[in-house]
């Protein structure tokens, strides 16, 4: 099965290299558009319903979209370009330029682009990328707030945690366990997203190749 996957990937690479660049440009626009529309529609739903771990859910769905797209676009930088399309749509949906959502999508796309470029197109790469981005959603708010408010914000957080532990009468070690469990859930979500994205890409690629053979192309 693994050998069949490798053969499918190599066949797709040869096909992609023989096609004009405009084909890849169209695919980047399509998958970037799907990513952006998902961010707008699902994002608003999650925010409106106050669904827990909304950021991780959005990231998992994003990974499925752009990692599937990356399988069919054999060019480095394609994930970042998809992210640029998605971020632009996100801005238009808001109606004004807000740096936060725009930069969050671009950072997410940049991290994914680096990991996939280094690890290649394979299941391990997809799973590793999805897990990394899922975990990044945990620290992103702290990084963003640190850039805006400075290092003092972290001292405020720590002081708040100490006060909470005193009021509830529990040691900070329990808070650490909560963080570990929370992170583990994110890892599982990222693993599932990466596994599904690669399986979906392989399945669609196989179906397209078989359809092409049947049509005599």
Question: pLDDT > 70: what percent of the chain?
Answer: 72
Rounded distance between C-alpha atoms, residue 196 and residue 189, angstroms:
11
Name the pLDDT band for 7 (thresholds 50, 70, 90). Answer: low
Average pLDDT over residues 126-147: 84
Q: Comparing C-alpha atoms, which of 88, 110, 81, 98 is closest to residue 39?
A: 88
CA neighbor of 121 nearest in space, from 79, 155, 88, 172: 79
- Nearest by Cα to 65 from 75, 76, 52, 78: 78
Name the residue with higher pLDDT: 172 or 97: 172
Residue 73 near residue 206, CB atoms below 8 Å? no
pTM: 0.80
Which of the pair, 160 or 112, is modelled with greater confidence?
112
Segment 11-22, tens digit of pLDDT: 555 554 455 458
Coil, strand or helix: which one is 113?
A: helix
- How many separate domains does the chain show? 1
> Per-residue confidence at 216, pLDDT binned at 50, 70, 90?
low
How many Å is the maximal CA-CA distance in the chain?
Answer: 73
Helices (H), the chain: 2-18, 21-49, 54-72, 78-94, 99-119, 123-149, 152-168, 172-214
For residue 109, the model assigns a pLDDT of 95
Q: Is the pLDDT of residue 60 over 80?
A: yes
| More confident: 89 or 212 | 89
Average pLDDT value for the chain: 81
- CATH number, position 152: 1.10.1760
CA distance 194 to 61: 10
The residue range of the domain holding 146 is 2-214
**Cβ neighbour number for residue 41 with a 10 Å cutoff:** 11
Q: How confident is the model at residue 90 (pLDDT cuts 50, 70, 90)?
A: confident
Say what the alpha-carbon torsion angle 121, 124, 127, 130 is, to the nearest 10 degrees. Answer: -60
pLDDT of amino acid 139: 85
What are the pLDDT digits (tens) for 26-50? 999 999 999 999 988 998 888 888 8
């Amino acid at each position: 099965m693994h050998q069949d996957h490798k053969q499918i990937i190599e066949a797709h690479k040869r096909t992609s290299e023989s096609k004009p660049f405009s084909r890849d440009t169209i695919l980047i626009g399509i998958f970037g558009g799907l990513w952006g529309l998902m961010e707008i529609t699902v994002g608003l739903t999650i925010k409106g319903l106050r669904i827990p771990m909304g950021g991780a859910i959005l990231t998992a769905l994003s990974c499925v979209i752009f990692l599937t797209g990356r399988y069919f676009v054999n060019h480095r930088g394609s994930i970042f370009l998809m992210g640029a399309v998605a971020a632009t749509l996100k801005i238009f949906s808001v109606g004004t330029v807000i740096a936060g959502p725009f930069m969050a999508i671009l950072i997410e796309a940049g991290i994914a682009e680096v990991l996939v470029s280094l690890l290649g197109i394979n299941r391990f790469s997809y799973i590793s990328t999805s897990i990394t981005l899922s975990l990044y959603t945990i620290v992103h708010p702290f990084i963003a707030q640190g850039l805006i408010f400075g290092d003092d914000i972290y001292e405020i957080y720590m002081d708040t945690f100490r006060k909470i532990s005193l009021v509830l009468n529990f040691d900070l070690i329990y808070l650490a366990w909560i963080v570990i469990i929370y992170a583990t859930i994110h890892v599982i979500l990222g693993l599932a997203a990466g596994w599904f994205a690669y399986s979906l890409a392989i399945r669609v690629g196989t179906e397209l190749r078989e359809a092409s053979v049947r049509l005599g192309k």
